[in-house]
Amino acid sequence: MAAPADSGCWFPALALGVSFLKCLFINAYHSTDFEVHRNWLAITHSLPVSRWYYENTSDWTLDYPPLFAWFEFGLSHVAQHFDRNMLQVENLNYASPSTVLFQRLSVIFTDVVFIYAVRECCRCVQVRKGSRDVLSRPSFVLAVLLLWNFGLLILDHIHFQYNGFLFGFLLLSVAKHLQSQHLQGALLFAILFNLKHIYLYVAPAYGIYLLRSYCFTQDNKDGSVRWTSFSPLRLLALGGIVVSVCALSFGPFVAMGQLPQVLSRLFPFKRGLCHAYWAPNVWALYNVLDKGLAVLGVRLKLLEEAELPRASMTGGLVQEFQHSVLPSVSPSVTLVCTLLSILPAVVSIWWRPRGARGFLRCLLLCALGSFMFGWHVHEKAILIAILPLSILAVESREDAGIFLVLTTTGHYSLFPLIFTPAELPIKVSLMLMFTIFSFTALRKLHSGQRSLLRPVEVAYLLGLVAVAIACEVVFPLSPWQQRLPFLPLLATSVYCSVGVSYSFLRLYGSLLRCEDKPKQL
């Protein structure tokens, strides 16, 4: 039999295989994010700490929290052995072969955090009895879905970012909570949001879960909170961990009195409601509705065309703009909408905590809710929902169905990020491989009478294929290419927002309907 003799060997083989694949992308297209990180290497290496958040020679100013700046500082010490010139702040858009090699290798190497986190998550997944075949074990399927995740591969290793490193912390923190090691989980999360503050979106889930299930050590028989079992020691421990990590990260800047400047860099609200390419969320649908009504209004002579603001929502620059028919949306409105959308989830884990898996579901809903209603959301943020959902998908049948819809839609919405002709075969074949694997593996894992997907979902996904062919193949060869260049982006955003909204509602349904026994900690 050619099956591997050692049953534990498949994980290193998977990790090594995907690392080899990542090496092949070293010379592929990279986006402006490459220059962003090169600039940050230069800033942290060449300038004193006091100048880090004031430096603006380049447009790509430092807008991640200080712990990430320290991380870049550490990397820059290795970078100097590859090519010293990349560390000059004035060398804008410097991309020598050694620079490219170093940056790409740094992403591949820091992915070791992600690989370790995936290993921990695989250990948390329930082992199915009687499955001796490696390929049909939940842990194997989870490992492939996470390690070979299409979105992560093209975002990190083609588009260029450090998402693997960051998601490693998130998944490791989730794994620690699943293993009931809450202090470690809290520590990892504190480190995470000091590396990239976008993860503050899921902080409510952490906060309420830890407060309710960790600080209150016991529950009443019916599952409600027993106020007397509050443990101030645990609360103090958690608070201490978070505060000390933040102090480590922000401390030097608070000492220099630079906190307002740092915060203004971290939270730039001058940018518009939507990114240049609309993330597939509620505001994309809102924009389209607005545009549609405007066009309709002009056609029906209800509005004057001259009165409409010259909106350039679909232009390449991120400026503020006004809606023409529907009321304009401000940052505070989006904040309120986001909070309202995650409120039921958060209340639900306070009211009837369902253990660590309920927390995971709440985390997903916080991530998706903030994706749906947030201000200036990047389409890349869909990964914050897709990766943790993989853990639930290999365990529960309903979650597997939601996962298939959300993942396929979310991954397809990343297509416009990689627009060069040479990368077209790569993204199409990787997407096909991942999608086919996820469908067949999950179907085999949850074999039963009914199929995983409902007919309307199957129809939607087939429609996605049609949209893909239209946007990637038909449109560039058609005459509308010159007149309406944004049309494929628009179509992709709108079609995907339908899918993402649907998954959001279904996830909510599964959280609110789930009637597990409350667990003790």
Partner 1 sequence: MFGDYEAQRHWQEVTYNLPLQEWYFNTTDNDLNYWGLDYPPLTAYHSWICAYIAKIINPDWVELHKSRGYESPTHKLFMRTTVLVADLLVYIPAVVLYCLYLTDGSSKKKVSTLLCFLLYPGLILIDYGHFQYNGVSLGFALWGILALGLGWDVSGSMAFSLALNYKQMELYHALPFFCYLLGKCIKVGLMGRGLFLLVRIAATVLATFALCWLPFLSDPSQALQVVRRIFPVARGLFEDKVANTWCSLNTLIKIRSILSGDSQLYLSLACTLLAVLPSSFRLLTKPTFWHFKLALANSSLAFFLFSYQVHEKSILLAALPACLLLNDLPLVAIWFLQASTFSMLPLFLKDGLLVPYAVTSLAFLFLSIYLLSALDHCSEDELRLGAYNKLFFCLPRMDLARIVRWKFYISVAVMAGLSIVSVALVPPPHLPDLFPVMLSMAAFLHFFGTFVYFHVVQFSGPPSRKSQKKNN
Q: Is 3 in the site for partner 1 (CB under 8 A)?
A: yes
Residue 155's contacts (CB-CB under 8 Å, 6 or more residues apart) are: 161, 163, 380, 383, 414, 417
Q: Which of 8, 130, 232, 425 binds partner 1 (CB under 8 A)?
A: 425
For residue 257, the minimal CB distance to partner 1 (Å) is 48
Q: Is 13 in the site for partner 1 (CB under 8 A)?
A: yes
Candidates 154, 166, 78; CA nearest to 427 is 154
Per-residue b or e along 473-507, where b marks 16 or more CB atoms closer than 10 Å to that residue's CB: eebeeeeeeeeeeebbbbebbbbbbbbbbbbbebb
Distance CA 353, CA 209 (A): 8
Options 263-271, 297-305, 328-336, 415-423: segment touching partner 1 (CB under 8 A): 415-423
Q: Which is nearer to partner 1, 424 or 491 (CB)?
A: 424
Q: Which of 229, 328, 420, 481 binds partner 1 (CB under 8 A)?
A: 420
Options 15-23, 137-145, 189-197, 213-221: segment touching partner 1 (CB under 8 A): 15-23
Distance CA 132, CA 134 (A): 6
Task: At 460, give phi and psi (nearest 5°).
Answer: -60, -45
| Residue 274, SS3 per DSSP | strand
For residue 427, the minimal CB distance to partner 1 (Å) is 13
Q: Which is nearer to partner 1, 3 or 336 (CB)?
A: 3
Q: Is 5 in the site for partner 1 (CB under 8 A)?
A: yes
Distance CA 267, CA 82 (A): 33
For residue 491, the minimal CB distance to partner 1 (Å) is 22
Distance CA 122, CA 118 (A): 6
For residue 17, the minimal CB distance to partner 1 (Å) is 7
For residue 217, the minimal CB distance to partner 1 (Å) is 47
Residues 389 and 357: beta-carbon distance below 8 Å: no
Distance CA 83, CA 206 (A): 42
The CA distances from residue 347 to 215, 358, 378, in Å, are 16, 12, 27
Site for partner 1 (CB under 8 A): how many residues?
A: 19
For residue 413, the minimal CB distance to partner 1 (Å) is 23
Residues 490 and 314: beta-carbon distance below 8 Å: yes
Q: Which is nearer to partner 1, 104 or 177 (CB)?
A: 104
> What is the number of other CB atoms lying within 10 angstroms of the CB of residue 122?
21
Residues 15 and 115: beta-carbon distance below 8 Å: yes
Options 2-10, 230-238, 390-398, 493-501: segment touching partner 1 (CB under 8 A): 2-10
Q: Which is nearer to partner 1, 26 or 289 (CB)?
A: 26
Q: Is 26 in the site for partner 1 (CB under 8 A)?
A: yes
In this structure, the dihedral spanned by the alpha carbons of residues 114, 115, 120 and 121, taken in order and rounded to 10 degrees, is: 70
Distance CA 480, CA 457 (A): 30
Options 3-11, 223-231, 333-341, 410-418: segment touching partner 1 (CB under 8 A): 3-11
For residue 2, the minimal CB distance to partner 1 (Å) is 4
For residue 203, the minimal CB distance to partner 1 (Å) is 40
For residue 317, the minimal CB distance to partner 1 (Å) is 25
Q: Which of 23, 296, 326, 473 binds partner 1 (CB under 8 A)?
A: 23
455: left (phi over 0), alpha (psi -120 to 50) or beta: alpha
Q: Which is nearer to partner 1, 28 or 282 (CB)?
A: 28
Q: Which is nearer to partner 1, 340 or 422 (CB)?
A: 422
For residue 21, the minimal CB distance to partner 1 (Å) is 8
Query: HSE-up of 443 (CA within 13 Å, CB side)?
Result: 11
Q: Which is nearer to partner 1, 19 or 261 (CB)?
A: 19
Distance CA 321, CA 106 (A): 38
Q: Is 27 in the site for partner 1 (CB under 8 A)?
A: yes
> Using CB under 8 A, which residues numbered 336 to 365 contact partner 1?
none
For residue 485, the minimal CB distance to partner 1 (Å) is 17
Distance CA 74, CA 283 (A): 39
What is the per-residue binding string for partner 1 in 193-232, x denoting contact by CB under 8 A? ----------------------------------------
Q: Is 95 in the site for partner 1 (CB under 8 A)?
A: no
Q: Is 2 in the site for partner 1 (CB under 8 A)?
A: yes
Q: Which of 7, 9, 456, 516 binds partner 1 (CB under 8 A)?
A: 9
Q: Which is nearer to partner 1, 332 or 429 (CB)?
A: 429
Per-residue b or e along 271-282, where b marks 16 or more CB atoms closer than 10 Å to that residue's CB: ebbbbbbbbbbb
Sign of CA dihedral 105, 166, 60, 259: negative
The CA distances from residue 16 to 13, 137, 149, 256, 409, in Å, are 5, 20, 14, 44, 28
Report residue 501 as tokens: 């909204």
Q: Which of 421, 448, 455, 479 binds partner 1 (CB under 8 A)?
A: 421
Q: Which of 259, 340, 422, 436 binds partner 1 (CB under 8 A)?
A: 422
Options 19-27, 216-224, 358-366, 398-406: segment touching partner 1 (CB under 8 A): 19-27
Candidates 58, 60, 52, 55; CA nearest to 33 is 60
Q: Which is nearer to partner 1, 419 or 502 (CB)?
A: 419
Binding residues (CB under 8 A) for partner 1: these are: 1-5, 9, 13, 16-17, 20, 23-24, 26-27, 420-422, 424-425
